Structure 1
Amino acid sequence: MLAALVVLLVSGMAGCSLIGGDGDAAETPQVAARDRVDERGGTLKALSLGPVLSWDPQRISARDDAAFAGRIFLRTLTAYQPSTDPRNQSRLVGDLATDAGTPNKDLTSWSFTLREGVAWEDGSPVTCEDVKYGISRTFATTVITGGSTDALAVLAVPKQPNGASVYAGPYATGPAAAAGAAAYDKAVVCRGTMITFALSAPVGDFNEMVSQPAFAPMKKSADKGKDGTYVAFSSGPYKLAAPWRASTGGSWERNPHWKASTDEVRRAYPDRIEHQEGIETQTVAQQIIADGDGARNAVSLGPAPQAIQQHIVSVDTLKERSVTAGTGLVDYLVPNVKSTVFAEPEARQALAVATNRQAYVTALGGSTTGRPTTTLIPESLPAHHDEDPIAAGPRGDADRAKVLLGKAGLTLPVPLRVVYRSSPVADKAMAALVAGWTEAGFAPTLTPLEDDYFQTIGAPAAASSYDVFWSNWSPAWASASTILPALFDSSINLTAAGPGRDYGSFADATVNAEIQRIGRIADRTKREEAWAALDATLQGQGAYIGLAERRALYIAGSDVRNLSANEVIGGVVELADIAVRQ
């Protein structure tokens, strides 16, 4: 039956376009149109290609792995509240902590009080010391690798002359190790159920930073050190029934010591989750589409392939058990301000105005794969805004771009060397931009690179080789503080070694000062409004050109209920609310 379905899909799509028009008519909603289930029971099959790189909280780096872990077995001081409304998905709540934390007046200290009754899978309580120990592991950079090192950057632990922390983590020994441990003990203090962090500088959204797996607790006796890549010692609703099998997966069963009364984030409806990895994405989608006996209770953890998406959204019975969501990953272009082409802001504005974002999205695969954007700030973030300060629009305006090129003093046609990371889809998407640029007076030359792309464009030589760089970025948590400073603060990016992440070598002292000012704003709403205003300023100066926020489409079997996706944690299936019909 599955083989027959594959033939039907291929033959049915061979003679038609996969993306009609702009691809908007068949877009799927973010919440599947199925009856809710608010009862526990059943087994959910979670299928993916994988591979999971680690379940060790301080080693987790992949957004998909972090999202799964954070809903299934791993709890952090704070978390983002599940919601079927994307506008509410950035609501921060206490998870292990009773609330979202309390800063001092100058934002250099944050305190959190742990909930009572939260237990590990062995029944022992999750303590303040467990949280402190888990975070300490991120300092052991030669043992625990791959995860976030934000704790090293912000905690008030002194640095050595070479920039390394004086604290080398909990595995280090000797006199220097003891001194380092004492420094860490001053920065992270436990008093009963309260944990207090001293920071080296003000951090207004530290309470959002600690929602990352790297800030999760670890019970010292469960720590396997360098051998603990797949150790998932649970403080959440599920635990591994047997050791994780890399490239195959594992089964998650209920943690009998988890109490719903201590957890306002996870509903944990299924009794069991069979997590299978190593299955090709196309195969996963085809199995779930077929909806046979082994797939009615299955959900794809990976997006459906582009070639199948239009079939899904065109068939009502499939569309009602699928969802789409923004992933937070934004494709954008960076004009090289060191290039003679883009020395003037009007020239950079001209490229922005000439860029046909809708054509780019259509070439990506339509509305199920992306949505046009002029901003780097994803729609789900509080700082997202609809300002378009230079009126670039989704389709471009060649005539107005020509006027701007004239104001920049450039003679048409203007040579344009564009470099991008090559793939079959990217090749089509970038080619779709050429017509608009050419009509506006540019003479573009596309250079596709396959290997070591970001290393290449981050090298000093790139500044003399290319006029425009393609890039992409996604936030680490629900704040533009994880976007704009990382990409446009020249004080942390531009060095003799290269441009860092500021590939276009954009430098503006006023922007740098504003970044510092915004980071010290205590009120979250005001802080994110300030980030939005700064973003509009950067767009107006032509510091970057937004292209598209990537989207993902997921499908589930007919017995899966409460299917939704969460844009704030990466546009992934929301496992905190999902259920199975009995």
Structure 2
Amino acid sequence: MAEPARTPLRSRRLLLTARRVAAAAIGVTLAAGATACGPKDAADAGADAAPHKGGTLTVLNSEPQTDFDPARLYTSGGGKVPTLVFRTLTTRKRANGAAGTKAVPDLATDTGRPSKNATVWTYTLKDGLKFEDGTPITSADIKYGIERSFAAELSGGAPYLRDWLIGGEKYQGPYKDNSKDGLKSIETPDDKTLVFHLKKPEGEFPLLATQTQFAPVPRAKDTGTKYEEHPVSSGPYQVVKNTGDGEHLLLKRNPHWSERTDKERHAYPDTVDVRSGLDSAVINQRLATGSGPDAAAVTTDTNLGPAELARVSGDKELEKRVGTGHFGYTNYLAFNPKVKPFDKPEVRQAIAYAVNRRSVVNAAGGSSLAEPATTFLPDQKSFGYTGADPFPAGRTGNPEKARELLKKAGYPHGLKITLTHSTAKNFATSPEVATAVQDALKKAGITVELKGLEDNDYKDTVHSLKDEPGLFIGGWGADWPSGGPFLAPIFDGRQIVKDAYNFNHAQLDDPAVNHEIDAINKLTDLHTAAARWGALDDRIGEQALSVPLFHPVYKRLHGKSIRNVVISDWDGVLDISQVAVK
């Protein structure tokens, strides 16, 4: 999963995730401790008006919707703009909270039928599926859509299929492949059937099948790198305009989309107008004011910051318009045990005891924007979260216990270490978080020198086996809500990369851990798998190879005319496929 071709893309994705949870410190009138329109009370949003069809939904985002091509997008069934245009074999359940972490059928009649050992997955397409031009969607269109995602010209999307499909590691896409059958590990025995042959058991294939690489693409309409300008829609909306490389996307209804075949998307608005590349402060100001079209506007990537939440009090109208979301993401201290003194478990344990998570959470924006973490897996059932705390020190740390462990490690008078972090202002590597760690460790007799690096330099350093420091601040987000894409890239020894981006910071290559990852991947019962991922997380956590710090929380505002707010724990983002405008 960590081959050289994919890891820089993963790093880019993590950087974008960090940016999207970053706080914008401006003084607009927003409610402090605002009530969430999330899992518990999203249904109350706009209770004075039932959802109805019509109108224009405006989307105001910081990050431009670049590379609007299903092969190049890195998205997995969330509630963002691509889901309006691209349908996939499966998608996520469009429901609030934990209910929204489940894969459900989309183009397919079910979530897939596995062979006994989960190495072969079979899908059947629904009846009546059509592209925007009225032509039928066939299994060959989905196969071709997947195959073109292997082309070097269309890199950027999730790389799992290259790792999972037989022959995927050598396949170079349809533009260089002159064979009649294409990628032979994807069979299409008829227009409605797809059969996938995998290198090894993968019980989470239905979750992977939510990725946009599984969207159908008609071969005759493929224009290569220009396809993003007008991709052929299989969803409820089609692209009318794409200017500025995704800075302005205008979508209108796809007349050949049928809600009868799509139980998850509602497509209430007539038009969706996406404006991106905007300053986060401007986005939040426009949403708060709600003038003109902004009254019917949402954002899918811009968080409220601590200053915005703290400067306002008691505005009940705005309180109702702040949604709370949780995405599976963990910020942590990463150890490289190859570097002294972190080769000694007692030193790593001492740091784990010394960390003051309350001060770290405050540095990350406060309890409204971050929740303390004691496990590497996020605090969600779908990941297998257990709530374990292998080094219990409370919210403020235990410097006395840390000193005991340092003495045991041979440092009775304390020690000096270096903590590497990025100078970029984001949750994952924030200088403020680094300072909070520095202050906490000082109370335990650990003097911390902070080494801030420009963000690109930081990424190149911490993901290089040769240059990786002994201690740095990191962050990891899941491609879908499961322990698999969370634990395997970080702790599977077979994913250690020597000559490119490496994410196994501890360089852990434990045969027992590797074996358990393989065993869990065979499971098609995801509830059982989640329990196993949680147990594995606990086992790894006892080795103090990292110190979990906090999980980010999304606080996002929406316009006053928005109705039917749904926020799931899949990605913590307001689902625009559910939104109606007043």
TM-score by length of 1: 0.88
- CA gap of 1:265–1:353, structure 2 versus 1, over 3 A, is same
1:18-57 correspondence to structure 2 within 5 Å: 26=34, 28-30=36-38, 31-32=41-42, 33-36=44-47, 37-57=50-70
2:126 corresponding residue in structure 1: 115
Q: Which one of 74, 98, 103 corresponds to residue 114 of structure 2?
A: 103
How far apart are 1:193 and its partner, in Å?
Answer: 1.1
- CA gap of 1:498–1:394, structure 2 versus 1, over 3 A, is farther
Q: Distance in 1 between matches of 2:573 and 2:484?
A: 22
Q: Distance in 2 between matches of 1:483 and 1:289?
A: 35
1:42 maps to amino acid: G
User: Per-residue displacement from partner, 1:19-42 (whole Å, max 9, x unpaired)?
Assistant: xxxx9x556352554234232222
Q: Distance in 1 between matches of 2:134 and 2:425?
A: 51
Matched residue SS, 1:93: strand
1:146-161 correspondence to structure 2 within 5 Å: 146-157=156-167
Greater alpha carbon shift after TM alignment, 75-84 vs 289-298: 289-298
Q: Distance in 1 between matches of 2:475 and 2:129?
A: 38
State whether residues 87 and 215 of structure 2, in contact with CA within 8 Å, keep that contact through their aligned partners in structure 1: yes
Q: Distance in 2 between matches of 1:187 and 1:424?
A: 43
State whether residues 186 and 194 of structure 2, in contact with CA within 8 Å, keep that contact through their aligned partners in structure 1: no
Q: Distance in 2 between matches of 1:542 and 1:385?
A: 17
State whether residues 325 and 554 of structure 2, in contact with CA within 8 Å, keep that contact through their aligned partners in structure 1: yes
1:256 corresponding residue in structure 2: 255
How far apart are 1:213 and its partner, in Å?
Answer: 0.8
1:299 corresponding residue in structure 2: 298
1:281 maps to amino acid: S
Whether 1:556 and 2:566 are equivalent positions in the alignment is no
Q: Which one of 89, 99, 113 corresponds to residue 100 of structure 2?
A: 89
State whether residues 75 and 211 of structure 2, in contact with CA within 8 Å, keep that contact through their aligned partners in structure 1: no
1:483 corresponding residue in structure 2: 486
2:567 corresponding residue in structure 1: 565
User: Per-residue displacement from partner, 1:135-187 (whole Å, max 9, x unpaired)?
Assistant: 0112222x2111122211111127xxxxx50x3211115xxx42xx6462344
How far apart are 1:189 and its partner, in Å?
Answer: 3.2
Q: Distance in 1 between matches of 2:29 and 2:57?
A: 31
State whether residues 93 and 99 of structure 1, in contact with CA within 8 Å, keep that contact through their aligned partners in structure 2: yes
Q: Distance in 1 between matches of 2:35 and 2:352?
A: 27
Q: Distance in 1 between matches of 2:399 and 2:501?
A: 31
Q: Identity, % of aligned pairs?
A: 29
Matched residue SS, 2:513: helix
Q: Distance in 2 between matches of 1:91 and 1:313?
A: 37
State whether residues 68 and 246 of structure 2, in contact with CA within 8 Å, keep that contact through their aligned partners in structure 1: no
How far apart are 1:295 and its partner, in Å?
Answer: 1.8
User: Per-residue displacement from partner, 1:280-313 (whole Å, max 9, x unpaired)?
Assistant: 2111111121122232111123324413233467
State whether residues 326 and 552 of structure 1, in contact with CA within 8 Å, keep that contact through their aligned partners in structure 2: yes
1:420 maps to amino acid: H
1:458 corresponding residue in structure 2: 463
Q: C-alpha root-mean-square deviation of aligned residues, in Å?
A: 2.4
2:264 corresponding residue in structure 1: 265
Q: Distance in 2 between matches of 1:499 and 1:236?
A: 35
User: Per-residue displacement from partner, 1:46-105 (whole Å, max 9, x unpaired)?
Assistant: 111221111110011267x97424431111111110112x12111111111111111000
1:317 corresponding residue in structure 2: 317
- CA gap of 1:499–1:74, structure 2 versus 1, over 3 A, is closer
Q: Which one of 470, 473, 477 corresponds to residue 476 of structure 2?
A: 473
1:367 corresponding residue in structure 2: 367
State whether residues 49 and 277 of structure 1, in contact with CA within 8 Å, keep that contact through their aligned partners in structure 2: yes
Q: Distance in 2 between matches of 1:506 and 1:340?
A: 16
Matched residue SS, 1:510: helix
Q: Which one of 98, 123, 136 corresponds to residue 147 of structure 2?
A: 136
How far apart are 1:246 and its partner, in Å?
Answer: 2.7
1:5 corresponding residue in structure 2: none
2:385 corresponding residue in structure 1: 384
Greater alpha carbon shift after TM alignment, 302-311 vs 145-154: 302-311
- CA gap of 1:396–1:252, structure 2 versus 1, over 3 A, is same
Matched residue SS, 2:508: coil
Pick 1 or 2: higher relative contact order, CA cutoff 8 A, min separation 6: 2
Whether 1:281 and 2:294 are equivalent positions in the alignment is no
State whether residues 46 and 562 of structure 2, in contact with CA within 8 Å, keep that contact through their aligned partners in structure 1: no
Q: Distance in 2 between matches of 1:337 and 1:278?
A: 41
Q: Distance in 1 between matches of 2:173 and 2:424?
A: 40
- CA gap of 1:313–1:273, structure 2 versus 1, over 3 A, is farther
How far apart are 1:114 and its partner, in Å?
Answer: 0.8
1:295-444 correspondence to structure 2 within 5 Å: 295-306=294-305, 307-311=307-311, 314-380=314-380, 381-424=382-425, 426-444=430-448
Matched residue SS, 1:241: strand
Greater alpha carbon shift after TM alignment, 416-425 vs 485-494: 416-425
Q: Which one of 446, 450, 466 corresponds to residue 446 of structure 1?
A: 450
- CA gap of 1:491–1:445, structure 2 versus 1, over 3 A, is same
Q: Distance in 2 between matches of 1:536 and 1:241?
A: 50
Q: Which one of 164, 172, 175 corresponds to residue 168 of structure 1?
A: 172
State whether residues 321 and 563 of structure 1, in contact with CA within 8 Å, keep that contact through their aligned partners in structure 2: no
Q: Distance in 2 between matches of 1:214 and 1:427?
A: 36
Q: Distance in 2 between matches of 1:139 and 1:247?
A: 22
How far apart are 1:324 and its partner, in Å?
Answer: 1.8
Whether 1:221 and 2:220 are equivalent positions in the alignment is yes
Matched residue SS, 1:456: helix
2:199 corresponding residue in structure 1: 200
User: Per-residue displacement from partner, 1:516-558 (whole Å, max 9, x unpaired)?
Assistant: 2221223211111101100011111112111111222211121
Whether 1:546 and 2:558 are equivalent positions in the alignment is no
- CA gap of 1:79–1:11, structure 2 versus 1, over 3 A, is closer
Q: Distance in 1 between matches of 2:379 and 2:229?
A: 33
Runs of 4+ in 1 over 6 A off after TM superposition: none
How far apart are 1:243 and its partner, in Å?
Answer: 4.1
Across the two proteins, how many residue pairs are aligned to each other? 546
Q: Distance in 1 between matches of 2:395 and 2:140?
A: 51
2:88 corresponding residue in structure 1: 76
1:578 maps to amino acid: V
User: Per-residue displacement from partner, 1:176-232 (whole Å, max 9, x unpaired)?
Assistant: x42xx6462344333341211011111111111111111221111221112223333
* Unaligned 5+ runs, structure 1: 1-8, 159-163
State whether residues 282 and 304 of structure 1, in contact with CA within 8 Å, keep that contact through their aligned partners in structure 2: no
State whether residues 66 and 213 of structure 1, in contact with CA within 8 Å, keep that contact through their aligned partners in structure 2: no
- CA gap of 1:393–1:535, structure 2 versus 1, over 3 A, is farther
Q: Distance in 2 between matches of 1:446 and 1:433?
A: 10
